[in-house]
Amino acid sequence: MTLAQVAAQSELTTGFISQVERGISSPSLSSLLAIASTLQSSVEELLSVENDFSPYVSQGMRKTYALGLRGRRYEKLGPGFPGALCYPSIIHRPAGHVSERMRHEGEVFCYLLAGRLEYHLGDQVHMMSAGDTIHHDTSIPHFSIVVSEEDSEELWVSTLPIKAGSTPL
């Protein structure tokens, strides 16, 4: 596809797509989702994160990647085999980080390991502390804010990786 085609289909500008391609701009998660969807890919594929299938992954061998300069840092915990339906990861977010409002196909489970979150799910707001969980249908609009002074550490298990079909709001 040409830059113009990717820009048009992802509803982004050609200049922005060019800057992302050359590493000049750091796209938001919603922009990455739009680009990945247009290219029928996943965010992990766009970021060249290897997908080593293994039922066992030692702590020191986890694949990691980050979004933004002071954004989320992801630790891949799986999938352990091709065709897996669950995609576990640990996400580290800085204090004050606001995730993008999302709605997409699938379901998600989060166990908050450290920090505090204000989790918005539809019209409800849940104040989460370390040890709390949330499990929901991701077709319901959702986003969260790290409200603790320290970074959050979150264990996530989703039925779909962030890929084509996800729709930022």
Structure confidence by residue, pLDDT tens digits, 50-79: 777 788 888 888 888 887 666 788 898 877
| Residue 76 shares a structural domain with residue 130 | yes
**pLDDT for 62:** 86
**pLDDT for 152:** 97
| Residue 124 shares a structural domain with residue 73 | yes
Secondary structure class of 59 (helix, strand, coil): helix
Q: What stretches in the chain show pLDDT beneath 50? A: 162-169
**pLDDT for 129:** 98
**pLDDT for 163:** 43
Range of the domain at 77: 47-168
**pLDDT for 30:** 67
Give me the CATH number covering residue 51.
2.60.120.10
> Residue 115 — left, alpha, or beta (φ > 0 → left; ψ -120 to 50 → alpha)?
left
Cβ pair 80, 51 in contact under 8 A: no
167-168 β-sheet, strand order: 124-129, 116-121, 142-146, 102-103, 167-168
| Residue 68 shares a structural domain with residue 97 | yes
| Number of domains the chain contains | 2
| Residue 138 shares a structural domain with residue 84 | yes
**pLDDT for 159:** 83
Q: What is the pTM of this model?
A: 0.76
